[in-house]
Structures are given as C-alpha cells and as structure tokens.
Amino acid sequence: MIRKYLAFFKNQFSATIYYRGSILVWIFSNLVFLTVIVSVWLSANSSQSLGGYSTSELIGYYLAGFFLHWVVNWLPFYSTADEIKSGEIIASSLTKPFSFYWRKFSEEAGWHSFAVILGMTLTLVLAVILQQQQLIAFGFSWDNLLLAIAAIVLAIFLVFGFSLCLGLLAFWFTEVWTVDTLFWAGRNFLGGWYLPISFFPGAFQTMIRILPFRYLFSFPLEIFLGKLSLTEIVFGMAISLFWILFFSLLYKVMWERGRKAYTAFGQ
C-alpha cells in the first residue's frame, strides 16, 4: 500500500526538480517580500513596542515566517480543482484503487521535501547575515522549538485539509479560483503573514484565536519566539486539532457527495 503513495511522492519530487527554476523564482519573490517588510520596520519611528515585539524580534518573526512559508503551504487546491475541472480526475483517481486524500498528501510531501531543503538553507544564510548586523533576536529555547515543531505538523495537516476541501468545491462549481483568493486574504491578513496578530485590536484578536487562519501560519511562530504561555499553547493546539478534525470530516462528506454530483465532459 505504502509503495503506491511512495510512487506519487517520487513522481512529484522529480517534477519539482524539473521545475526548479520556478522554485528559485518563488524563493526570490519571497525574498523581495522579506526585504521590503524588514525595511519597513527598520524605517519605523515608534515611541512604543511594536505589538509586543522589539524591532529585532519582529525581523526574526518575518525571517522565521519566510522559512515557515515553505514548510506549511501544502496546497492541493490547485491540482485538485484543475483535475476536476478538466475531467482528468476520472482517470487519475476515481477509477483507481487508492485514497485521493493520501495521493494528494504524498504529492505535496514530494514537492515540499525539495522546497524545504532549499528554504532552510537560504533561511540559515539570511539568519547569519542578519545576526552579524545585529538585526535579529530570538529568545531560543528547546522547549519552544519542540512545541513549535508540533504546531508546524498540525499546521501542515490543517492547511492541507482546508485547501483540499476548497479544491473539492470544483465538483459543484467548476470555476473556484475566487475562493482561493479569499483563502489567501484570510491567511495573509488574519493568519499573521502581513503582521503578527498582536497588532490587531482586542476584539479582533479573540475572533482570530478561534478562526483557523492563525493556526495555518502565525501560531508556530508565536510559540518559537516565546510569545505564548503554556496555557495559550495548549488552547491553540486544541483549536488546531478541532479544525483538522473539522476539515477531515468535511473532506469525507464533500468527496462522497461530490463524486455523485460530478459530471465531466469527455474529450
């Protein structure tokens, strides 16, 4: 059984190496974002702490986020929506004896294993450069690192489940790119990609702590940077697990009903 999924993993890994130029482009475009946002904070004139962060902690937040972006973004939305829209899913999955969920998971794993190595190397180089210029600060602790890794694993399953469910909407609506745009708006704004959630006013923060977006991105960063108490971490992990369970169940319902509702045109 495992061998089937290993084949998908290897296949996607090879495809990623073939499209390595595109990965370099993604790395470069994320580097541009990092450079801009670091420059914004270095140019900021403020008489108070920045949402509970010092400038060097904030730069550390974005640098760690730069790496995390490569690790957690398991996004089967695009390939799922495309396969359903084009009818390819009939030959690739509906008539084959394996789980669609784990097939997509294996493919994403293949993609990410290459991207993570590249992303980690680059992040370490950047960390050394920024450290030499005394621009970043981490209050490093092994406990926080281990808890952050646990939160990253949860984030991967959460992003994956969320993105897969959005992709399955194509069974009913065919053209579903709009929901992807909404997903990114939620993830970037409410998930802490643009700004740490401590920048939001109190009422917003309560809402953000319940919605899934924070657990897609900023939660592991907050743990790693030592911004959360143990109670907050446990609460956050519980909310993450709730959303993972929610999207797993939603996937099952959508997959069963979607297959029955699906009509594809032959070629």
Partner 1 sequence: MFRYLKLYFHFFRNCLVRELEFRFNAFLLSLVHIFWLGVMLGSVTLIFGQVDSLAGWRKEEVLILAVVGMLFHDITEMFFIGGLQRFSYFIRHGEFDFILLKPVNSRFMTSFRYAEFQNIFRIIIMIFVLASFLRGAGISPSIYEWAGFSAFFLAGLIVFYNIFFMVITTNFWLINVFNFNDIFDRFLSAGRYPVDIFKGRLKPFFAYVIPLGLIGTFAVEIFLGRARLVSFWIAILMVVVTSLLSELFWRFALKHYQSASS
Binding site for partner 1 (CB under 8 A): 18-19, 21-22, 25-26, 28-30, 32-33, 35-36, 39-40, 42-51, 175, 177-178, 181-182, 185, 188-189, 194-195, 199-201
| Cβ count within 10 A of residue 63 | 22
> What are the φ and ψ backbone dihedral angles of 53, each rounded to 5 degrees?
-115, 145
- Minimum distance of partner 1 from residue 154's CB (angstroms): 25
- Minimum distance of partner 1 from residue 143's CB (angstroms): 28
Structure tokens at 146: 């281990």
C-alpha distances (whole Å) from 33 to each of 27, 29, 54, 81 are 10, 7, 20, 28
Residue whose CB is less far from partner 1, 181 or 231: 181
Residue whose CB is less far from partner 1, 25 or 253: 25
Residue whose CB is less far from partner 1, 100 or 192: 192
Residue whose CB is less far from partner 1, 53 or 100: 53
How far does Cα 48 stand from its chain's mean position?
31
Residue whose CB is less far from partner 1, 29 or 141: 29
- Minimum distance of partner 1 from residue 228's CB (angstroms): 19
CA distance 120 to 123: 5
- Minimum distance of partner 1 from residue 242's CB (angstroms): 25
- Minimum distance of partner 1 from residue 40's CB (angstroms): 6
Name the burial class of residue 33, with classes exposed (0-12), middle (13-18) and buried (19+) by CB atoms within 10 angstroms of its CB: middle
CA distance 212 to 187: 9
